[in-house]
Amino acid sequence: MSTTKKTRFDFYVLSGEGTGQGMWKLHHTTDLGIKQRLTRERCGGDRWARAYCLARGASFVGIDIETGEARDLSTAVSALHF
């Protein structure tokens, strides 16, 4: 019996309360995993949360996984602590 391995990607989640700038977090997970994370972020007290997946072949262009909108993540990514 073979098992299939789910592909994991780097997702950057921006979430926060109100209209502030928010907090960036890096998550290395599957497509389903990031959708579950967004649900938890939004239901756990944060008013909003967005997830960006790095575009293939680009260094700092993130694609919003819900709208498809591209965003330059260079300043946000450099502020992350790994």
Query: Is 63 a member of any domain?
Result: yes
> Range of 73's domain?
9-78
Amino acid 32: pLDDT = 92
Amino acid 33: pLDDT = 92
Query: Is 71 a member of any domain?
Result: yes
Query: Is 4 a member of any domain?
Result: no
Query: Is 65 a member of any domain?
Result: yes
Edge-to-edge strands, sheet with 70-72: 23-29, 9-16, 48-54, 61-64, 70-72
Query: Is 1 a member of any domain?
Result: no
Query: Is 18 a member of any domain?
Result: yes
Q: What's the predicted TM-score (pTM) here?
A: 0.71
Amino acid 82: pLDDT = 40
Query: Is 2 a member of any domain?
Result: no
Q: Which residues in the chain come in under a pLDDT of 50?
A: 81-82
Question: What residue spans of 10-81 are helical by DSSP H?
Answer: 31-43, 74-78
d(CA 41, CA 66): 15
Number of compact structural domains in the chain: 1
